[in-house]
Structure 1
Amino acid sequence: MKKKIVIGLEVLIADQPDYLRGKRLGLLSNPASIDNNFNHSSAIINQIFPGQLKALFSPQHGFYAEKQDNMIESDHFIEPELNIPVFSLYNETRIPTKKMFDQIDVLLIDIQDVGTRVYTFIYTISFCLEVAAKLKKKIVILDRPNPIGGTQIEGNILSKNRTSFVGRFPIPMRHGLTTGEISQLFNQEFHIGCDLTIIPMKGWKRQMYWKDTELFWIAPSPNLPTPQSCMLYPGQVIFEGTNISEGRGTALPFEIFGAPFLDTKKIKPEADELIKGAFLRPINFEPTSGKWKGIICCGFQIHITSKEEYKPYFASLLLMQLIIKHHKNNFKFKEPPYEYVFDQMPIDLILGSKTLRKKLTGLKDLITISNQWKEEIINFKSLSGKYHLYE
């Protein structure tokens, strides 16, 4: 029988630290911030530290995770049950203000990350660390599993000249760290200097994917509804920077992709030859929102057959390159803006590179390109290993 994972929130419940007693508390959370009995962390913290919870904070997609897409902001409001403010950190600013932090002494963070560089929650945390350091506030992170495991690392390291809210620091696309681990890395390696404490999980091992944890999956954002979508996300997210539907507006975001002009018969043979650990099943689908709304698209559903063999970033780069090769007159990269950057191509921000887009369009050999990242990955593994909290 698998050993039950005890998440950081539940460790906090069992062993309530004295340093939180009498402090004014804030909490950064969203609907995925629950314990194993579906109790939300805001209710739990209000119960175990009565009268101390003074403010709530929400990341991209909102406190209720209701906002669908990039650059769709959520408002500040008063949470009706607790009668305390909810400050949106995806509003007129992505950085918490002094006025927000003036209401608290300690910020608790209970956020489910998905292990991918472009997922913005880790950068919301990084901004909180920076402001907390400046204002002499403490941050406590209640750690949660990386749903796509902690052993596989993939992709190029973010270039310094392609930083944005989908990539603030030089990390690979798939980083292999938990929320607590990557927050420690940011805090130490980039000299943020926040008074940071991690409350680690019990029982989590690095090789575990979500299904190994026996925890319930609650979507941290609308378009990652399942652990399977998280496993594909490090690759399929690149299609956000193109006119290819990444499956938004369907029941299978990031698991399916396509466009009205896509010829699956041309793409599948070459893709099958190079993509390991997955089966590409040709499908037709009709998005109800987003790209190609109401128009039938031809494409694929990606079925992962071996999570150990499947390399999501490599696979999606290859698929994009094949689409460019066979549909150069129909395929398009999206124009700015993207995540509040108005002067750079969205695809360059997502890829975290100023050269990779040109290599893809120039049909350069992708295996050769990815081999050039090996030294970067080795260096990152050495760096990130210093912050591992789990075997």
Structure 2
Amino acid sequence: MHVFPAVPRLKRRHVLMLTGAATLAATAPRAHAGQPPAPDMRDVDRRLQQAVTRGEAPGVVCAIGHDRQVVHRAVYGRRAVTPVPEAMTWDTVFDMASLTKPVITAPGVMQLWEQGRFGLDDPVSRYLPQFAAAGKAAITIRQLLTHYSGLPPDLDLTHPWQGRDAAFRLTMETAPAQPPGSGFVYSDINFITLGFLIEKLTGMTLDAYATRFILAPLGMRQSRFLPPGTWSARIAPTQADERGQMLRGRVNDPSARRMGGVAGHAGLFSTADDMCLYAQALLDRRAGRPSAYPLRPDTLMLMTTAQQPQGRTDLRGLGWDIATHYSSVRGDRFPVGSFGHTGFTGTSLWLDPDSDSYVLILTSRLHPDGHGNVVRLRHDVATAAALALIPSRG
């Protein structure tokens, strides 16, 4: 493990590139005689460093995979700026936010689909009868997975509800904001519902299911819901909660937090190492190569290709984004047909099967005051990475 130098207290919120970042970047595999040279990631590093100096995020961890290797690792800035400054480290644990959706909930649903427990075009209410309320009887599992259900974006947070049972009741009572299948509306309620579906069909809590059937098979030992207190020192804090207490190891998403930290749309915590394991296992299994990813290749192909209603132009897979207004994280060079997802806290993962590549960016952009913004950073890093990996696409 690389040991970072102590970070002095600075007047400015953010710190320039830590010397350890260059060391980590140098650990990428080097070319041997007869092999192509290692990709030049200097433009990636420049942009990551800019993100810290400009205040887009207090710190960042980035990993770029290509041809079954992590070809670039970078660490810049700070994990925390208050109450005591802390250097960002490669093994920092991040609140993955909505990456929970494609990384945990969607594959959990599809494992049950592989077992023949339901059809993708079955109505959700066949398995969760209460879901039929308020005009939702015809909404299908596929529509939840693609965000074409017509449900509104969020549960009502104006009332001080607490607990899983309250969330279940609110979810079952929610009325569609528009007719199912009529348009793409990104909705946390879709994946909250899918989390409840997994629990109903398996008799397990979502976090127990995720650990047993997704994380453990992949060897993701630094990933889980409800991280233990022993992880606290490595967890990147996000922002203050309603009581003014800095969130560190408690999920940032307010609905997931009210549900006790376990929900289908948010709640996963993870590290760069574990997410690289996940990304490569997914690409390997999708390509039919040996892999621990716990789904069949044809199922992954289904999940990562367009599954939205016919004639709709917002392209969504089953849990994964392909081409919508959220897809700026693809950059300008990875093709439509690549796929990925983002998280509200500043996390993102984009994968390109054609070039066997992925770009992972982990930040805690909300820390400490909620003002960070990494939308442009994601786009720029993906563009620079693609140009370095696949120069012919430039």
Question: Normalized against structure 2, the TM-score is what?
Answer: 0.26
Return the structure number with greater relative CO, CA threshold 8 A, min gap 6: 2
- TM-score, L = length of structure 1: 0.26
Give the structure with the higher percent helix. 2
